[in-house]
Amino acid sequence: MQPKFYEMSIEKLMQSYTLLAVEQLYGFTVNDKQIQIQITNKDFEGDYTLVVFPLLRISRKTPEATANEIGEKLKSSYAVIQSYNVIKGFLNIKFTSEFWIKRLNDAVENENFGFSCGNGKKLMIEYSSPNTNKPLHLGHVRNNLLGYAVANILEASGNDVVKVNLVNDRGVHICKSMLAWQKFGNGETPESSGKKGDHLVGEYYVRYDSEYKKQLAEIVASGIAEDEAKRNVPIQLEVQEMLRKWEAKDTETIALWEKMNSWVYAGFDKTYNDMGVSFDKIYYESQTYLLGKTLVKEGLDKGVFFKKEDGSVWIDLTADGLDQKLLLRSDETSVYITQDLGTAQQRVAEYNIEQMIYVVGNEQNYHFQVLKLILKKLGFAWADSIYHLSYGMVELPEGKMKSREGTVVDADDLIELMISTAHEMSKELGKLDDLSDVEINNVCRMVGLGALKYFILKVDPKKTMLFDPKESIDFNGNTGPFIQYTYARINSILRKADEQQIKIPKTSVCANISEKEISIIKLIDTFPATLALAAKEFSPAVIANYAYDIAKEFNQFYHEHQILREENEDLKLFRLMLSKKVAIMIKKSMKLLGIDVPDRM
């Protein structure tokens, strides 16, 4: 079966044309790598450019002569090529309007344009990974949005993706909140306080830190050196004992742990729902840390690990350019990497995954370097399939956030702020006129969350970013609301066309189209390559900026050209068809980012 026109990228099409032209001109067969095709620089006339330098050994002519010969051969052989020009060793090819309309027609006819159907890898992506001692904050927001969007992108690229969350529901940090509530809570509950469960538990985490610092200061004031004092702070010793009792399955400790964690889970579920993210499976550290301890003991028997005099278990990675890493404390309680070992082994056994992607901040780069190395030393060949999607921190104009000191930007508060700000700005700009109360609430929620998600996802994941809520919700510039408003604008046009009983065609034969219209078609045409790049780089920013580019290009077109008032009927129908496809591409791109777009604004 002959592939549809859109199924071959223009680069591949140009490559096939050029391979044949070179063979006919010079009598040599060249390979694909020698045919370098790229999008023409905006400073020059043309659509795609052939770099002729790799072909000079075959032509035995100057770059300009070679480019001119190939250009003339291509133009005479293929009617879709309108013209060409040569700039030194670069052959710039310009396609006809008919060529671009054909590309658009095929894209319009294909509902799954750009998406791949199956035949990919079995992938698992872990994101969120909260601790049950505090609510989700701005840092978690970036983590969740990034993980969810990358999962969408990988799935749209034909992969079988399993989205998972690992809840850190045990350990010394969890015991801090538990102990503080036990000592100072007076039986307070989410119901009695009217507070969201994760917020309530987080307050006791902060309370613990405050009490710890107070007790430490008192010990130091008594004349004891700070290093020694830190090892003997009473409340910290109590926490360590609580952790030991938890691992020993002490009934009272386990009951307290289950009660407080249940409060937190209810809070997390609401935040995830408000954020619009989900998971296929949730793992709990409390259920996997024993698997990790088993692996540590096996590694100890094999001589991969060693014991120190105090009974703690370590691995020596100094020969690998790292250092010694603790795996079990002297009291046999586990650390983070212990459960990560067990969780990784369990996941591979359960899902037979080909790659495991961890979405975790860049402060954990060393942790994942060690994790992969330990798993390899334990003999797991799949350790090389682990990929740490390391992302930069989110900072505020006021500086960094600290959970222990209660200076974080709470995710729930941030979501509420974004929705209320969207309401204020939308009302001020008159974008809520003629909408019902229900529509206003839906639009403000879409715009507020869209602003938040887009502002975070448009930044390369590897970069540290500064989050400014006011800047994110601007209806002009590279923002979510700008793209959402463009979508709503197109839908308004399409509704008016429907009211006028105009039937938008699925294909067009119109030939008299402008350069601006061609530039929009070019953007539509690049979507498959854009999605492939986003998947390859695990970067939603690639999709975000694509959505902005096509929205910006359409708005320029909208201000320069008539659509419904266009007198030429064929041109009017073409522009409606083009507008409808732009709306589809905006919606498709934003959905990959987890962002909804409103039909009306």
Both tokens of 333, joined, read 């309680």
Q: What one-letter code names the amino acid at 339?
A: Q
CA distances from 287 to 130, 215, 282, 372 (A): 15, 34, 11, 21
Label residue 418 exposed, middle or buried (CB < 10 Å: 0-12, 13-18, 19+): buried
The CATH number that applies at residue 585 is 1.10.730.10
Q: Do the bridges between strand 81-87 and strand 90-95 make them parallel or antiparallel, or are there none, so unpaired?
A: antiparallel
Counted domains in the chain: 3
Q: Residues 63, 154: one domain?
A: no
Lowest mean pLDDT among 246-260, 274-288, 395-409, 558-572: 395-409
Res. 407 pLDDT band, cuts 50 70 90: low
Buried b (16+ CB within 10 A) or exposed e, 453-463: bbbbbbbebee
- 491 shares its domain with 574: yes
Establish if 107 belongs to a structural domain: no
Per-residue confidence (pLDDT) for residue 459, from 0 to 100:
95
User: Rounded to an integer, what distance in angstroms lies between the CA atom of residue 315 and that of residue 324?
Assistant: 6
The pLDDT value recorded for residue 3 is 44
Residue 381 lies in a domain: yes
Closest CA to 597 of 168, 276, 131, 218: 276
Instruction: Tell me the per-residue pLDDT of 197-215, one tens digit each, with 9 for 90 and over.
Output: 999 999 999 999 999 999 9
Band of the pLDDT at 435, cuts 50, 70, 90?
A: confident
Domain that holds residue 11: 5-95
Q: Are residues 55 and 149 in the same domain?
A: no
Do 265 and 384 lie in one domain? The reply is yes
- Does residue 453 carry a pLDDT above 50? yes
CB atoms within 10 A of CB 448: 27
Closest to 201 (Cα-Cα) out of 116, 133, 249: 133
Q: Take residue 57 and report the two structure tokens written for it.
A: 């050994």
**DSSP E strand boundaries for 11-62:** 36-39, 48-51
Strands 355-361 and 122-126: parallel
DSSP states along 188-209: --HHHHT--HHHHHHHHHHHHH
**Is the pTM value of this prediction over 0.85?**
yes
- Percent pLDDT > 90 in the chain is 82
**Are 503 and 367 part of one and the same domain?**
no
How open is the CA angle 207-213-217, to the nearest 5 degrees?
150
Counting beta carbons within 10 angstroms of the beta carbon of residue 24, is it exposed (0 to 12), middle (13 to 18) or buried (19 or more)?
Answer: exposed
Whether residue 452 is found in the same domain as residue 344: no
Residues 419 and 383 grouped into a single domain: no
Q: pLDDT digits over 508-538, tens only?
A: 888 789 999 999 999 999 999 999 999 999 9
Number of other residues whose CB lies within 10 A of the CB of residue 499: 8
Alpha-carbon distance values, 392 to 19, 131, 420, 462, 541 (Å): 44, 19, 27, 5, 13
Residue 403 has pLDDT above 60, yes or no: no
What pLDDT sits at residue 429?
Answer: 82
Confidence of residue 398 (pLDDT cuts 50, 70, 90): low
Of 479, 489, 478, the residue nearest 554 (C-alpha):
489
**Mean pLDDT throughout 244-254?**
94
Helices (H), 429-568: 437-457, 469-472, 480-499, 515-525, 527-537, 540-560
Over the stretch 59-95, which tens digit does the pLDDT of each residue have? 999 999 999 999 999 999 999 999 999 999 999 999 9
Residue 404 lies in a domain: no
CA distance 107 to 211: 63
> Is pLDDT of 396 > 80?
no
State the Cα–Cα distance between residues 485 and 256, nearest whole angstrom. Answer: 49
Average pLDDT estimate for 590-596: 98
Residue 141 in any domain: the answer is yes
Q: Does residue 104 lie in a domain region? A: no
Q: Own/partner pairs for 180-189, CB < 8 Å, 24+ apart?
A: 180/204, 180/205, 180/207, 180/208, 180/211, 181/256, 181/260, 182/256, 183/211, 183/235, 184/211, 189/263
* Whole-angstrom distance, CA of residue 488 vs CA of residue 491: 5
Domain boundary among 364, 395, 426: 395
Q: Is the pLDDT of residue 404 over 60?
A: no
Same domain, 48 and 185: no
Give the model's pLDDT for residue 1: 35
**Order of strands, sheet of 306-307, starting from the edge strand that comes earlier in the sequence:** 306-307, 313-316, 324-328
Distance (Å, whole) CA 482 – CA 299? 55
- Beta carbons within 8 Å of 29's beta carbon, 6+ residues apart: 19, 23
Interatomic CA distance for residues 54 and 69, integer angstroms: 15
Judgement on whether residues 389 and 423 belong to the same structural domain of the protein: no
Residue with tokens 């502002």: 455
| Residue 167 pLDDT exceeds 90 | yes
Interval 331-355 mean pLDDT: 91
d(CA 204, CA 266): 17
CB 402 within 8 A of CB 130: no
The amino acid that residue 284 corresponds to is Y
Q: Are residues 497 and 454 in the same domain?
A: yes
Domain end, chosen from 395, 422, 451, is at: 395
Mean pLDDT computed over 431-452: 90
Distance CA(601)–CA(583), nearest Å, equals 14
48 and 149 fall within a common domain: no
Give the CATH number, domain containing residue 271.
3.40.50.620
- What's the pLDDT at 450? 96
Q: What is the pLDDT at residue 7?
A: 62
**Which of 369, 395, 421 is at the close of a domain?**
395
Q: In sequence order, what are the residues at sequence separation of 6 or more whose Cβ sits closer than 8 angstroms to the Cβ of residue 453?
A: 145, 276, 480, 593, 594, 595
436 and 382 fall within a common domain: no
Residue with token string 């003339």:
72
Q: How far apart are CA 95 and CA 5, in angstroms?
A: 14
Residue 20 sits in a domain of what CATH number?
3.30.1360.70
Cα separation, 305 vs 543, in Å, equals 44
Least confident of 152-161, 248-257, 434-443, 477-486: 434-443
- Determine the pLDDT at residue 433: 83
Whether residue 573 lies inside any domain: the answer is yes
pLDDT-based confidence at 601, cuts 50/70/90?
A: confident
Angle at 105 between CA 104 and CA 110, to 5 degrees: 100
- Least confident range of 29-43, 434-448, 466-480, 555-569: 466-480
Closest CA to 445 of 585, 276, 198, 277: 276
pLDDT at 393: 87
Indicate whether 324 pLDDT > 90: yes
Domain for residue 110, yes or no?
no
**Residue 94 corresponds to which tokens in the numbers above?**
């310009």
The answer to whether residue 109 sits within a structural domain is no
Secondary structure, 3-state, 420-467: HHHHHHHHHCCCCCCCCHHHHHHHHHHHHHHHHHHHHHCCCCCCCEEC
